[in-house]
Amino acid sequence: MIATDMPPELPEQQRIVITGIGLTAPNGNGLPAFREGLLAGRSGVRPYEIRYVGKTLAGVCDFETGKYQSRKDLRRGTRAGSVGVYSAHEAIGDSGIDWPTVDPARVGVFLGVTEHGNVETENEIFELKGYDYDTSFWSHHHNPRTVANNPAGEVALNLGIVGPHYTIGAACAAGNAGLIQGVQMLRLDECDIALAGGVSESIHTFGIFAGFRSQGALAEHADAARASRPFDLHRNGIVVAEGGCVFVLERLSDARRRRARIYGEVAGYAMNTDATDFVLPNAQRQAECMQLALRRAGLVPAQVDIVSTHATGTVSGDAQECIALRTVFGASDRTHFNNTKSFIGHSMGAAGALELAGNLGSFDDGVCHATINVDELDPECQLPGPGLVLNQPREIGPANVVLNNSFGMLGINSAVIVKRYVG
C-alpha cells in the first residue's frame, strides 16, 4: 500500500522520471521549438473561422498528420487521436527507448481530455442535413470515433500497445491528470513505461466557441496574437486552442539502467474538488490542492522556483487563482510565476501537459518564460516575491522545482510538482 503522503525519498523503483517529451502546440512542434517560441515571445493564436460561429480566434496546431498514420487511419480516426499518435511517437523517439525490444504488454497509455466526441457528432449531423436527416446515412465510424477511450485507443492501435489504455476526463485539469495516472500505474507495477499527458481537438467543435461566447468568456481582440492575456486588467476571456503533449514516464531504476536522459522527477501531485459551483472556481480548494502536492513532495513553498499558472484570461478565474497563490506563496521571496496560455490559448485537455513541458527547460537554462500581453496588470492579480514574470523572460539562476497548476469546470483541481534530477 502506497502512503497518501509519500516521503520525499522513495526507493528507485518508486521514483518516477520523465525521459521523453513529444508535443504539438500552436507555436511549435517538439519541445525545442516550443521552448524557443516561449522564450522569443511568439504567439500561436491566429484568426480562425468555424461554422455557425463565424470569424473568431484560436490556437491552431500545424503538424504532419501523415508522418505516423496512413490515409485510412486518418479517415477512420479523429483529430484528437492524430494529435495523440503524433505526440506519442515523438515522445518515444525523444526518449531513446529501443522500441522494437519493448514488451507491448508492459506499456500503458493514459491521456487526459476535456471533452471528446463533440467534433465527430457535430460533423455527422452537419453532413446528415444534406440527406434530409435520413439516419441510414449515419457513419458506421461514429461509435468508435466518439467513445471516451478513443484518443488513447488510437495511440495503442497505432503503436501495437497491448497494456492498459484509457482517457481521463478531467476537464481542463486533464493534462495533469493523465500524467498523475501514469505515475500511479508505474508505482503499482501495472506497466513499465507510461505514455501519459493530454490532447485536445477543441477548436474543431463550434459548440465550445458558442458556449464561451454565450457566457461572455470568449476572448476578442483586433490583434490575434494579443487576444490571450491572463492577468491583464482588460482581459476579456478564453482563446480556444488545440494541442497535445505526451510524456514518457519510467521508474528511475529503469531509466538509470538504460542511461536515459532525464528531464525531471515527478516529486509530488494532488487533485481535489471544489464542490461549490459548476463553473466558478474556489480559491480555498485550489490552495489546498497546491499545499497537498507540496506536502507529498516534502517541499515548502519557498523551494518552488516557478509556478506555471492555470489562468485562462477570464476575470473571475484569474483573480481567484491569484488569491490561492498568495495564500500558498505569500511568504516566499524566490518563487516566480508565469503563464503559457498567453502564448497559445487554452488547449483544454492538453493544457496542463503542454504548460508543464514548456517550463522544464528552466532546469537547463535558468530562465523563466514570461506571461505576455500584460499591458496593465490587474491589481487583483498581484503576486508575492518576484511575482509574475511579465512580457519578457527572466533569468532566475538555477531552477530546481516547478509546480504546474491546472483547474477545470465542475471544480476539479490539480497540481503537479517536478524537480530537477540530480544523479
Q: Is residue 40 part of a domain?
A: yes
Instruction: Supply the mean pLDDT for the chain.
Output: 96
290 with 311, same domain: the answer is yes
Q: What is the mean pLDDT of residues 145-150?
A: 95
339 with 245, same domain: the answer is no
Residue 275 corresponds to which cell in the numbers above? 464542490
Q: Please say if the pLDDT value at position 4 is more than 70.
A: no
273 with 150, same domain: the answer is no
Cell 521549438 belongs to which residue? 33
Q: What is the pTM of this model?
A: 0.96
What is the C-alpha separation between 44 and 243, in angstroms, rounded? 11
Q: What is the mean pLDDT of residues 2-6?
A: 48
| 264 bridge partner residues | 18
295 with 212, same domain: the answer is no
Q: How do residues 400-420 score in pLDDT, each as one tens digit?
A: 999 999 999 999 999 999 999
339 with 387, same domain: the answer is yes
Q: What is the mean pLDDT of residues 144-154?
A: 96
What is the model's pLDDT at position 423? 82
What is the model's pLDDT at position 192? 98
Residue 383 corresponds to which cell in the numbers above? 503576486
Closest CA to 45 of 28, 62, 27, 24: 27
What percentage of residues in the chain have a pLDDT greater than 90? 97
Q: Please say if the pLDDT value at position 243 is more than 60.
A: yes
Domain extent, residue 91, equals 12-257
306 with 366, same domain: the answer is yes
Q: What is the mean pLDDT of residues 175-187?
A: 98
- Count of domains in the chain? 2
Q: How do residues 262-318 score in pLDDT, each as one tens digit?
A: 999 999 999 999 999 999 999 999 999 999 999 999 999 999 999 999 999 999 999
237 with 314, same domain: the answer is no
200 with 226, same domain: the answer is yes
Residue 1 binned pLDDT confidence (cut-offs 50, 70, 90): very low
125 with 240, same domain: the answer is yes
Q: How do residues 361-394 score in pLDDT, each as one tens digit?
A: 999 999 999 999 999 999 999 999 999 999 999 9
Q: Please say if the pLDDT value at position 8 is more than 70.
A: no
209 with 355, same domain: the answer is no
Closest CA to 240 of 115, 146, 124, 151: 115
